[in-house]
Structure 1
Amino acid sequence: MPANPSPAPRRPVPCRAAARRGSAGRCAATAIAVAVAVLIQRPAVAQGDTPVQKQDSMVLPEVMVVAAAPLPGIGVDSDLVPYPVQTVRGDALNGANAGNLTDYLARNLAGVNVNDIQGSPFQTDLTYRGFRASSIPGVPQGLSVYLDGIRVNEPFGDVISWDMIPEAALASVSMISSANPAYGLNTLGGALAMTTRSGLDSPGLTADVSYGSGSRKRANLSGGVKSAGGWHAFAAGTLFQEHGWRDHSDGRLGNIFAKAGYEGETNSWDVSVLHGRSTLTGNGLVPAYRASGDTTEPDLYQANRRAVYTYPDKTRNQVTQVAVNGRHWFDDKTSAAALAYVRNSRRDTLNGDVNPDYESYAEDCEDGFGADGSPLGEDCGMTRAEGAALHPAVINTTHMRQQTVGMALSLAKETTHHVINAGLTFDRSRLTYSQYAQPGTFTDDRGAVADPDAPNELFSGVSGTSRMFGVYLSDTWSLTPSTFLTASARWNHVMVSNTLRNSDGSEQPRESFTYRRLNPALGLTQKLGGGVTVFGGYAQNNRVPTVLELGCADPTRPCRLPAGLQADPYLKQVVSHSYEAGVRWRPGKDTDVTAAVYRIDNHNDILFLRAPNTQLGYFANFDRTRNQGLDFTARQRLGDITLRLGYSYLQATYQAAGQLAAGERTIDIRPGMRMAGLPRHTLKLGVDWQALAGLSLGADLVAVSSTVSSGNEDGLRSDPEPGTAGRTADWRVPGYATVNLRASYKVNKHFEVYGRVGNLFNRRYESYGQIANNVFPDGSLVRPHVAPGDGASALFVAPGAPRSFWVGVIYRM
């Protein structure tokens, strides 16, 4: 896996080299200059940081150094790369600024949105420019995510376990745009690169404890030490627990991160350990409206904002990761680095759902029964007595075990006109997965209870391995003092092997697939003077099919999402072609403006399509999709006030024809049709005010335009009958705007108190919508002898949280 996309200063070694040569005076001067630069430095788009204190006009101009490649190397001034990089300091994620990492990114970074599909703060569906980094299996993932260079997209479905990110240990978080090939597989729309702290940069003790709405309790504790001899150690942990603002939505998690190592004149190394466990509830979508003839009627969500459709929906995660990093400096401009790691993860889920057979029975038998109990509906397939014997509920349990081991090597060299980074990576993953189903019944409040007399049977399973090898080279070339060419390329070789298990326990023949791809990138940056820089470039990247997608890729053996595995025929890899151009304006340390336009064409995208003559589906290659748009960010400091603005425009569309499976609906896709769940317009405004010496006040507004609901892309609410146009429905999720407040006060150098208010005006809003069958109209189960008719078609939504309050205290020593 690619490693360590650290935005640390590019030249950390000259002092050591100078000391060896006896140039102590030049070393001291360099150290002072670097220290001053670090003190005044602001990230390129660190939009939620504490306002910068007033600085003397003669200090050095700010310089933000970003990694040109994900392995440890020599960084490049962010003003020279031909794509936007938004970077956040880890301190901004604590205290008054945000509830957690994804909350902060959604409020502050341009192009980022969050769909609260699961309803849990640590099980979010994050999108950047329409590409996803999601905790939901079966969702097409288009962002690569790294923690200290270790790719944390899980092997089974490239999902992200946000609850296993050690937020209390983060030093920086960077969102790198475009299909940058140096960041490896799955970087179709960008990469999210996180680095952790150490005792070298974070000595001392910090404790952050908070409590608020939904009985949400959180404690972050971190501490670091370092010695004059170069030894250092750091540890950080998080404890989180809440009852949740929705019914039956409690959750808890705990994780700890520890790092220890040594940094000498020419060599440095460290060993880090991450361990975390969680039990989270993701109760998902709830019906808001149901169809009734030619009209719609309000449903469960309208009557009770906190309601859930069915429960329980528990996910238990556990991750243990050990990594060893080392680096050697041959001289002050040449270095080599190595990384080795092992990562074990397990995920167990328990979901109380509607029995698909019961759901199909309620839908297909809408014409009722004759006097003898025989069905009148042509597709009913069973008598009333047979339907009455069906269990309405099913308890689905899944068990996933994954292990990944990897290593990476890198070389970095800086010359007069070049900054060169090269590296290779190798990763091997093993996994097993199984799903079981046990029939059951529902309680009066829609809780699923297993029938103790019914067997808990294997539904499907898979075991497999994947091997990934990559080699990359990146060069930033100074053509002139104001013109910079960035070229990079990466060759990926991936082999995936699967063995599927049938419901009777038998195994299908083992299948193996091999994918290869050379991805190039080329970009140009031109400084025009007056703080204006223009840039543009082209990049390619690829994503190989996941085990989940290969396990359900046969139209003759379709399955149900998220986890029904039936067959594993070949799927082509997804290839993205990214074009981007933009401008930066940085006339001084108080003003920062960036604008970028982009187009990303995805060839052979992998979508869940409808199998012929069924309500099931399968993953298949889709000829072409497109994500294009504009991102604009601006920051202006006016004395003690810092103003922030971010605007994003996104067109995410299908560019070919086909039939998409969306829940129980079949969508006839036409070129130019919008994708679901992605807003076209997003506006983010923020203000930070240093009101007094120790008092900071802040506010932000997030405004999102309407989104297309999944299953309503064609403007219909149900599949049309043969020879009819179908019933139309404008079931888009309406746009919304929320306002959030924050305040912090430093009592003294040790204590700080803070508070946050989310959704100040208690705006009722939804972040995602999907059309599905509803067997609980108005919260009551449809009985077999009652035909629901068109009322089975309903709009399910992901509710946004109501007004919430949190208070906390930070202790630093």
Structure 2
Amino acid sequence: MRVRAACNGTTEGRSGRTRGAWRAGGDCARLRLLLASAIALALTPVRHAAATPALPESQEAPIARVEVIGVVPFADSGSDPRLLPYAIQTLDREALRDARGANLVETMARRLHGVNVNEIVGSPFQTDLTYRGFRASPLLGTGQGLSVYLDGVRINEPFGDVVNWDMLPEAAIKRLWLVPGSNPLYGLNTLGGAIALETGSGLADPGFEGAFSIGEHGRRRADLAYGVRGQDGWHGFAAATLFDEDGWRDHSAGRLGNLFVKAGREGRDTDWQVTLLGGRSRMLGNGLVPSYRDEDGTLEPGLYEEDRRAVYTYPDRTRNRVLQGALRLTHRLAQGSELTASAYARNSRRDTVGGDVGDDYGDYVEDCADGFLLDGRPADPDECGFTRADGEALHPASLNTTSTRQRGHGASINLARNVRGNLLNLGATWDRSRVHFSQFEQEAFFTLDRGVEADEDEEREPMSSVAGTAQAYGVYAAATLALAPATHLTASARYNHARVGNTLTTEDGPKPYEAFTYQRLNPSLGLTHARGPLTWFANIAQSNRVPTVIELGCADPEEPCRLPVGLQSDPYLKQVVSRTMEAGLRGGRGDSGFSATLYRTVNRDDILFGRAGASRAGYFSNFARTRHQGADLGAHGQWGAWRASADYSYLRATYDADGTLFTGARTVTVGPGTPIAGLPRHTLKLGLDWDVRPGLVLGANVQAVSHAAAQGNEDGLIADAGDDDEARRADWSVRGHAVVNLHASWRPAPGWELFARVGNLFDRRYESFGAIAVDMFPEGRLLQPHAGAVEPAHARFVAPGAPRTFNAGLRYRF
């Protein structure tokens, strides 16, 4: 079955000219008919409304507990997951608090199929999470494809759609939903899925909970939460997380703290609640490190093989701050009807400091006498050192800093109704944000261990900046209709209207103001059919993503920029349109269950980074088509004192058109079937728990992934045809690996729990991501200009996986 909806939006430049027009064909007419029908259904008087749609009696017996899943993230109303035509995964409070994961992202990676983590930055709270090959990452310039919500507030930051995992109040989270596919109801950027997080409250979670843990490498963490249920429906809740570590890699200490507060009242017909979130962090993540390199066709071990804890250059520091407030009102209009309205305001700031190789680094070698750097150490700093023979200063390094200030606010309204067993959601959202980003550079020097120190006599020079606003409106409707006692049809549509405007400033001065408008009507249609304990489902959906400021700010081949920063100009980019088809089967009895899903997601006009001519710079541009397809299989069960789970994911993420990419070191020619870097094809997760006796649990889990293409090696080459006279073919992909983890918990008395965790039990050396770049520090040393010295060469840089680690802690609840 194929459903096509091509309602194209208009886009305007500064002159207001139209770049596209609505093609109101038959598909759009049918979508508008669906929207009109939903509105008419919403206005129909409620008669004999039921709390939930009728289900066949045969389904009630094997399923002991019925959950309610939010159809949209903006409202409290939900749907029975058995009626949804896609496979939602959930983690409840117990799953989020168990001893398997050190934080939220690690728990997701261990327990949810289709989820993987790339440790590109190296900090446990700045990981690059992927689901079915789509990313939710803190890395600026990364193509984001997952939307993330906290109590209905979208927390993808306006500048780049990045997700700052360190700013989530993990101690307050009580439930997580992972929604697959291009679900239009979850708004912009939901290309491959959405993550919805719900916090606790004094009504549902009264009492105190505290957890304290310590571990190797100076890791310390405290999670505190307290809920109170008062008289006449009043309630309050507060939670805090504190984290501090030295880090297992060199120069990688980090710390964070956040506080979450919720207060409200539950009335007879109206409920309200207000929330406040504040957090700040200082994370050091020193990124990739060179593994092996190509010396005239001979592979030589790199810095990673010499010391897995080493960093390439430092410092690499990120400071995040966030302050967010939200208000939600829920009013029950009549039996089976509910109106929810919410509003929020969110301020965040991000400051980074990074030490990098400067443009003068080549002169550092060429202009110094032979033998200056003997075995990586200065022989005569006074004679040559950091200065030329004429006394002019050399600055082979640069200290790059960025400052990002973001302010956002918005509102939403949702009407949920149940009309004779048919569920309806009708609503609208509005979001507005203001962004100011600045980048600075200061000339600096390298220390002998590749640290970067600024020259105090040199001023910090502004390189580029952008100030702009973004505004988005959304109107949606969704209905779940009972076609038969065991068959349900789910249909939805959402219209998105977004406008992005900004002013760029470069070294040449400010650029003219630019603004672009994007529109899209996205549909979704699904079907479920239940037979006994089994449910068959199928769904097709469409969503879109508009270009971010970082992409618009580097989209002109005539004015390229260095990846991933360096804004230059903002010509027009098309919006990304994603369509997902999936079908599967789920079921279970008692404590056992399984699910199987086949899916295919196609992105049209994806936004990728391409090379500008022969320069070492590039620009963002639209790529005709990329494709993510695969299968997710999962099963779990309990037999007496034993509990087991198994999850397998197959992912084939490829480019689906001819084109070129620029990875920073080389240009990669891709075509249909070329793999997308950093995404393993096979992932297997196994878990086993044993209840030794009441209160004592021992367990183990295994995570195994196959090899993944390295960025810059997607075409099987490690150098362009013009480099070293000919292109060289080699497989520099990141090897597959398997990691075994152990965990244990013991409850000696009611409310008390001791827990422990061993990560990477066998101390396996593994890598989670790879990229090709030029290694400017052979064997980890500064360049040696004397005869026979090793010169810069292409190398495979990798993200090292953590070694064996041990953590233990105590949790208390009352």
TM-score normalised over the length of structure 2: 0.88
Contact 1:550-1:570 within 8 A present in 2 as well: yes
1:423: which partner in 2? Answer: 427
1:48: which partner in 2? Answer: none
Distance in 1 between the 2:557 and 2:643 partners? 55
Distance in 1 between the 2:729 and 2:792 partners? 14
1:704: which partner in 2? Answer: 705
* Offset of residue 92 of structure 1: 2.1
Distance in 1 between the 2:671 and 2:723 partners? 19
2:564: which partner in 1? Answer: 562
Distance in 2 between the 1:565 and 1:641 partners? 56
* Offset of residue 385 of structure 1: 7.3
Contact 1:708-1:732 within 8 A present in 2 as well: yes
* 1:409 lines up with 2:413 in the alignment: yes
Distance in 2 between the 1:393 and 1:533 partners? 60
How big is each residue's C-alpha offset from its partner over 1:155-181, in whole Å with a ceiling of 9 and x where there is no partner?
A: 000000000000000010111001000
2:777: which partner in 1? Answer: 776
> Quick one: structure 1 residues 106 and 198, their matched pair in 2 at CA, closer, same or farther if it must change by over 3 Å?
same
Give the SS at the match of 2:217.
helix
1:119: which partner in 2? Answer: 122
* Offset of residue 364 of structure 1: 14
How big is each residue's C-alpha offset from its partner over 1:458-497, in whole Å with a ceiling of 9 and x where there is no partner?
A: 0110000000100111111110001110000100000000
* 1:344 lines up with 2:351 in the alignment: no
Contact 1:166-1:238 within 8 A present in 2 as well: yes
Distance in 2 between the 1:357 and 1:600 partners? 45
* 1:442 lines up with 2:480 in the alignment: no
* Offset of residue 182 of structure 1: 0.4
Distance in 2 between the 1:605 and 1:721 partners? 28
2:623: which partner in 1? Answer: 622
Distance in 1 between the 2:408 and 2:347 partners? 7
* 1:292 lines up with 2:298 in the alignment: no
1:166: which partner in 2? Answer: 169
* 1:148 lines up with 2:134 in the alignment: no
Distance in 2 between the 1:64 and 1:278 partners? 35
1:579: which partner in 2? Answer: 581
> Quick one: structure 1 residues 510 and 386, their matched pair in 2 at CA, closer, same or farther if it must change by over 3 Å?
farther
Q: Which of 534, 538, 550 is matched with 2:536 structurally? A: 534
Contact 2:367-2:388 within 8 A present in 1 as well: no
Distance in 2 between the 1:215 and 1:130 partners? 33
Distance in 2 between the 1:496 and 1:775 partners? 39
Give the SS at the match of 2:580.
strand
- Equivalent residue runs for 1:245-644 within 5 Å: 245-358=248-361, 390-503=394-507, 506-529=509-532, 531-586=533-588, 588-644=589-645
Unpaired runs of 5+ in structure 2? 1-49, 52-59, 369-386
> Quick one: structure 1 residues 593 and 385, their matched pair in 2 at CA, closer, same or farther if it must change by over 3 Å?
farther
* Offset of residue 689 of structure 1: 2.0
Distance in 2 between the 1:81 and 1:363 partners? 66
Identity across matched positions, percent: 54
Distance in 2 between the 1:405 and 1:296 partners? 53
> Quick one: structure 1 residues 126 and 722, their matched pair in 2 at CA, closer, same or farther if it must change by over 3 Å?
closer
Aligned amino acid, residue 661 of structure 2: L
Contact 1:325-1:338 within 8 A present in 2 as well: yes
Distance in 1 between the 2:241 and 2:555 partners? 40
Aligned amino acid, residue 697 of structure 1: L
How big is each residue's C-alpha offset from its partner over 1:98-125, in whole Å with a ceiling of 9 and x where there is no partner?
A: 1000000111100000000000000000
Distance in 2 between the 1:555 and 1:745 partners? 61
Distance in 2 between the 1:362 and 1:705 partners? 41
Contact 1:74-1:419 within 8 A present in 2 as well: no
* Offset of residue 67 of structure 1: 1.4
Distance in 2 between the 1:364 and 1:522 partners? 67
Unpaired runs of 5+ in structure 1? 1-26, 31-56, 366-382
Aligned amino acid, residue 321 of structure 2: Q
Distance in 2 between the 1:703 and 1:414 partners? 45
Contact 1:290-1:791 within 8 A present in 2 as well: no
Aligned amino acid, residue 487 of structure 1: A
TM-score normalised over the length of structure 1: 0.88
Distance in 2 between the 1:330 and 1:461 partners? 49
Distance in 2 between the 1:564 and 1:102 partners? 30
> Quick one: structure 1 residues 726 and 360, their matched pair in 2 at CA, closer, same or farther if it must change by over 3 Å?
farther
Distance in 1 between the 2:739 and 2:515 partners? 49
The 10-residue stretch of structure 1 (691-700 or 597-606) with the greater mean CA deviation from structure 2: 691-700
How big is each residue's C-alpha offset from its partner over 1:28-69, in whole Å with a ceiling of 9 and x where there is no partner?
A: xx9xxxxxxxxxxxxxxxxxxxxxxxxxx9897221221122
Contact 1:314-1:350 within 8 A present in 2 as well: yes
* Offset of residue 750 of structure 1: 2.7
2:204: which partner in 1? Answer: 201
Distance in 2 between the 1:455 and 1:786 partners? 36
Aligned amino acid, residue 272 of structure 1: T
Distance in 2 between the 1:236 and 1:716 partners? 51
Contact 2:778-2:791 within 8 A present in 1 as well: no
Contact 2:540-2:581 within 8 A present in 1 as well: yes
Contact 1:363-1:789 within 8 A present in 2 as well: no
1:732: which partner in 2? Answer: 733
Give the SS at the match of 1:121.
coil
Distance in 2 between the 1:544 and 1:299 partners? 40
Aligned amino acid, residue 651 of structure 1: R
Q: Which of 184, 190, 194 is matched with 1:187 structurally? A: 190
> Quick one: structure 1 residues 362 and 139, their matched pair in 2 at CA, closer, same or farther if it must change by over 3 Å?
farther
> Quick one: structure 1 residues 353 and 331, their matched pair in 2 at CA, closer, same or farther if it must change by over 3 Å?
same
How big is each residue's C-alpha offset from its partner over 1:671-696, in whole Å with a ceiling of 9 and x where there is no partner?
A: 21001000000000011222211111
> Quick one: structure 1 residues 786 and 169, their matched pair in 2 at CA, closer, same or farther if it must change by over 3 Å?
farther
The 10-residue stretch of structure 1 (673-682 or 636-645) with the greater mean CA deviation from structure 2: 636-645
Aligned amino acid, residue 123 of structure 1: Q
Distance in 2 between the 1:701 and 1:637 partners? 18
Aligned amino acid, residue 582 of structure 2: E
> Quick one: structure 1 residues 541 and 362, their matched pair in 2 at CA, closer, same or farther if it must change by over 3 Å?
farther
How big is each residue's C-alpha offset from its partner over 1:532-553, in whole Å with a ceiling of 9 and x where there is no partner?
A: 1111111000000000000000
Contact 1:652-1:674 within 8 A present in 2 as well: yes
* Offset of residue 722 of structure 1: 8.2
> Quick one: structure 1 residues 59 and 618, their matched pair in 2 at CA, closer, same or farther if it must change by over 3 Å?
closer
1:23: which partner in 2? Answer: none
Give the SS at the match of 1:486.
strand
